[in-house]
A and B are shown apart, each in its own frame.
Chain A
Amino acid sequence: MPFTETLKFECETGNYHTFCPISCVAWLYQKISDSFFLVIGTKTCGYFLQNALGVMIFAEPRYAMAELEEGDISAQLHDFDELKRLCVQIYQDRNPSVIVWIGTCTTEIIKMDLEGMAPKIEQIIGCPIIVARANGLDYAFTQGEDTVLAAMAHRCPVIQTKQNQEDQAPLVLFGSLPNTVAEQLTRELANQGIKVSGWLPESRYEELPQLGSGVYVCGVNPFLSRTATTLMRRRKCQLIGAPFPIGPDGTRAWIEKICKVFDIQPQDLDQRENNIWESLQPYISLIKGRSVFFMGDNLLEISLARFLVRCGMIVYEIGIPYMDKRFQASELNLLEKTCQQMNVSMPRIVEKPDNYNQVQRIRALQPDLVITGLAHSNPLEARGITTKWSVEFTFAQIHGFTNARDILELVTRPLRRNNHLKDFGSAKRALVRTL
């Protein structure tokens, strides 16, 4: 690979595989424990959810499909009455604090006025209804969460308390994380004397944080650009642009940036970060000098690549569905700096990648590890290319100092498997060929 000085951005055809953004209900209904998610779409959406969420389906989930039938499409049935009927039923059966409507491709195409109907039905049943258009026409995978949180930002109460001069300005973090991880990050900031006044979302809808001018907000995930925009423009909050707390380097930079905004000198961060790196050594020795190729499907790619470069890996390509250069500015900056510091070539960043072309490039480059979706994993493995399933990074706990190891646990798993199995069953040196 030629050595390059700056990050290169490219854009391909957008023929790539990713999950539909409605998949965000999978983790959001679990995070917001008093919610109910209603996906308004067709059999195709339902089939996807059913297959993607596997076991969760059977556990009386707090989500369902409003399955559109031919009568709905051809407007023989009245949308309003139909949705009202279903929502009344949901409210009676489950008594949620909020119903989230997920608009899909079909509701977009038949131009169903979800935003218009929601307030009226909300009035009738007396339960808040939030509309998020998480459809495959506009968004990819994790961006689904972005649309839901952006819609939810409108429902956060207006900040009430007049604060004293000495008090720290309120800080709200946004991004859905498992409660344990949210707690860890909150404590990490508390150790620096920074109080987190709330999270968007909290684990209950009724506990949404107060927002308004004078409130600082900071994101924890790279795919939340719409939420960030909404918080700034509509709720007049001040955005803290920082790298994301993924990996010890990212976590440190994230804390430092927040400290800087609140004019606090960070304490013991050096020590904390070094200790974590120390504990990661056994993993790092496995991946140092190895190459990795991100096909791109969940928007975590830049942050993960930055962390892996810092671990000593060489990143050939970062595929990514959508690149918000403004929201990810600090992260891109840190990536660039990390590459310089580690003295490795800058990876190319490919927005809206083309999977077919990528497979050709993978063939040519023969990377040590390809991070990709399930559609390509087995076929690549069969061709002797080691892969890691990308969706796991979305569901695993990867944020903060505490969870850095979990990322490397995932990244090194296929490499450790290779070490264990040596060439047994490998496609490259096929056992079968000698038989």
Chain B
Amino acid sequence: MKLAYWMYAGPAHIGTLRVASSFKNVHAIMHAPLGDDYFNVMRSMLERERDFTPVTASIVDRYVLARGSQEKVVENITRKDQEEKPDLIVLTPTCTSSILQEDLQNFIRRAQTTTDSDILLADVNHYRVNEFQAADRTLEQIVSFYVQSNSGDIARTKKASANILGILTLGFHHQHDCREIYRLLKDLDIKINLIIPEGCAVTDLYKLPQAWINIVPYREIGLMAAKFLEKEYKMPYVSITPMGLVETASWITQVCEKTNSQINYQKYIDHQTRFVSQAAWFSRSIDCQNLTGKKALVFGDATHAAAMTKILVREMGINVCCAGTYCQHDGDWFREQVQAFCDQVLITDDHTRVGNMIAEIEPAAIFGTQMERHVGKRLDIPCGVISAPIHIQNFPLSYRPFLGYEGTNQIADLVYNSFTLGMEDHLLEIFGGHDVKTVITQKLSTDNNLTWDPAAIAELKKIPGFVRNRIKRNTEKYARSQKVDQITVEVMYAAKEALAA
């Protein structure tokens, strides 16, 4: 048992659901108790999704506990098959249902006799893997199921082409990154064969081996599928994350080499680096000089934390005191990536350890997840969010890639804004700070002849700070209109009631 307040990576079934609901016309059925379908809320809210999330729960309740699911799961599969006519139904066990040890595979066999959809049981262990590992595995599972069930011949496309693996729902800036990769590939004259899983139909998956290479932009999700395709179909893959100028250049080099490109890509890289991206020039400009040697701490998923560390050090001259990740399963890779660039490596999924590290180092800026942002708030250290877990404000409406050349611009802005804000705060403090707080009560609240009795003051204090002044003003306004000069709790309530009249 572990005392936990907060976690970085979600439970396994979230990963499976993210993959399943990213595909087009795939439905996931969770074998779960009431209230576990929280995924639907996240997708509908964070992604501002217009469609109903294709996830339903086959509810595990007391009856199921006593008698087993029996017909229930089969009925729910059959019903979804008729209602939604999906290509594939993914039966997703949850941590609760996996302890029940029901033979879900057997339910699937029975359901198959009455349904048109394909049905798969997500093969993940809820007590051993997290959201990312589960997503990686589920993607591989679906890919191998559809690729292998195709017996026709597989010819490569005439022109060089690539698949992009691992773009999915609720991913950190995934949509924007995908568009940026698409643009890069277009410039390099490489066609996109398939993007999976986001927006892809499973019935198209048989086309995967037609591409020349696979591209895996994020380390966490897609590598297993890429390795499977390499083994079975001899497809090379590129697993560099094109984040930052240096990494984007080596990504382009690898992509072009693996597709035997005839393009002069060195010239392209040079042009993009110097003119399209502003980041290289920014590093040379006077602004960035001020950042030299500033202390920073980086924490996030393996992909983003590693790339960010390299950008800060190699491309901006910032001193990364500590780089860390919560992807413990991938700790070795991470350590190897960042070791040469930072003073310390921190691999943990305990947010208090990260918080303590921040307090100890006192960096000038943090680049982390929403959790680090809150630690930063408490310690008055600015934070740029670079990785999941994230809130709704990290699903921007505008175009904000982290990858490719436009990504380098975005990152430069993020870094620069984080540091200057910190500087501004610091200067304000030196020169006495803002003085907004006192003005509101002194000027706008006309007190003079009104007295608040102690009970009313106590009541006022119960009201949350951000509306307290408004309520105080309204109450006083009301009291004056009623010619009352002693404000009691009753007067407060009466004022609230009278407000609308």
Interface residues of A (CB under 8 A from B): 14-15, 17-23, 40, 42-44, 46-48, 50-52, 54, 57-58, 61, 64-70, 72-73, 77, 82-83, 85-86, 89-90, 105-106, 108-110, 135-141, 178-180, 183-184, 187, 275-276, 278-280, 282-283, 356, 359, 373-379, 382, 401-402, 405
Contacts and interface: CB of A to CB of B under 8 A. Distances in A.
Contacts of B52: 359, 376, 379
A110 B99 contact: yes
A17 B37 contact: yes
A379 B1 CA distance: 39
A109 B37 contact: no
B7 A19 contact: no
Given A105-B33, A280-B500, A378-B44, A402 B56 contact: no
Interface stretch (B57-65, B109-117, B160-168, B259-267): B57-65
Contacts of A68: 1
Interface in B86-135: 94-96, 99-100, 126-128, 130
A280 B499 CA distance: 10
Interface in B28-62: 32-38, 40-42, 44-45, 48-53, 56-62
13 contacts: A17-B40, A20-B36, A44-B11, A47-B11, A48-B35, A90-B3, A106-B95, A106-B96, A108-B65, A139-B34, A180-B462, A180-B463, A183-B489
Contact of A70 (B49, B50, B128): B128
Given A20-B36, A44-B13, A373 B2 contact: no
A402 B76 CA distance: 46
Contact of B44 (A61, A85, A90, A377): A377
Contacts of B83: 356
Given A65-B4, A66-B2, A376 B489 contact: no
A43 B1 contact: no
Given A43-B95, A46-B6, A373-B41, 6 more contacts: A42-B126, A70-B127, A140-B34, A184-B493, A187-B490, A402-B497
B496 interface: yes
B5 interface: yes
Contacts of A401: 497
B96 A44 contact: yes
Contact of A138 (B42, B45, B62): B62
Nearest to B57: A15
Interface hub of A42, A61, A69, A82 (most chain B Cβ within 10 A): A42
Given A18-B35, A283-B500, A375 B53 contact: yes
Contact of A47 (B7, B58, B62, B374): B7
Nearest to A375: B40
B234 interface: no
A357 to B, nearest CB: 10
A373 to B, nearest CB: 7
A184 B5 CA distance: 34
Nearest to A381: B50
A70 B126 CA distance: 9
Nearest to A77: B1
B497 A105 contact: no
B374 A58 contact: yes
B426 interface: no
Contacts of A376: 44, 52
B155 interface: no
A323 to B, nearest CB: 16
A401 to B, nearest CB: 7
Contacts of A187: 489-490, 493
Given A72-B1, A280-B500, A137 B44 contact: no
Contacts of A61: 5
Which bucket holds chain B's interface residue count?
A: 35 or more
Interface string B481-494: 00000000110010
Contacts of A105: 33, 60, 96
Contact of A46 (B7, B53, B60, B62): B7
A371 B95 CA distance: 31
Contacts of A373: 41
Contacts of B49: 378-379
A276 B496 CA distance: 11
A61 B5 CA distance: 8
Contacts of A108: 65
Contacts of A139: 34
B2 A69 contact: yes
Given A17-B37, A377-B44, A109 B99 contact: yes
A417 B2 CA distance: 46
B264 to A, nearest CB: 41
A414 B21 CA distance: 29
CB-based closest 9 A-B pairs: A20-B35, A136-B33, A382-B50, A375-B40, A82-B1, A43-B11, A279-B501, A70-B127, A58-B374
Given A67-B1, A275-B497, A402-B497, A379 B44 contact: yes
A137 B493 contact: no
A15 B30 CA distance: 11
B396 interface: no
A428 B202 CA distance: 31
A50 B6 contact: yes
B96 A109 contact: yes
Interface hub of A17, A70, A283, A376 (most chain B Cβ within 10 A): A17
Contact of A402 (B44, B61, B128, B493): B493
Given A105-B96, A137-B65, A382-B51, A52 B374 contact: no
Contact of B34 (A20, A52, A69, A110): A20
B10 interface: yes
B286 interface: no
A275 B41 CA distance: 40
Interface in B146-189: none
Contacts of B302: none
Contacts of A90: 3
Nearest to B39: A375
Given A135-B33, A375-B40, A376-B52, A64 B374 contact: no
Contacts of A109: 65, 96, 99-100
B127 A69 contact: yes
A349 to B, nearest CB: 19
Contact of B61 (A70, A137, A382): A137
A48 to B, nearest CB: 5
Contacts of B130: 43
A52 B38 contact: yes
Nearest to B38: A48
B1 A51 contact: no
B378 to A, nearest CB: 8
A174 B476 CA distance: 33
B498 interface: yes
A89 B48 CA distance: 41
B10 A47 contact: yes
Given A66-B2, A375-B44, A141 B35 contact: yes
B93 to A, nearest CB: 11
A61 B6 CA distance: 11
B391 interface: yes
Contacts of B126: 42-43
A137 B10 contact: no
Interface hub of A43, A72, A401 (most chain B Cβ within 10 A): A43
A138 to B, nearest CB: 6
Contacts of A183: 459, 489
Interface in B334-387: 371, 374, 377
A378 B1 contact: no
B41 to A, nearest CB: 5
B35 A136 contact: yes
Given A110-B99, A183-B459, A43 B7 contact: yes
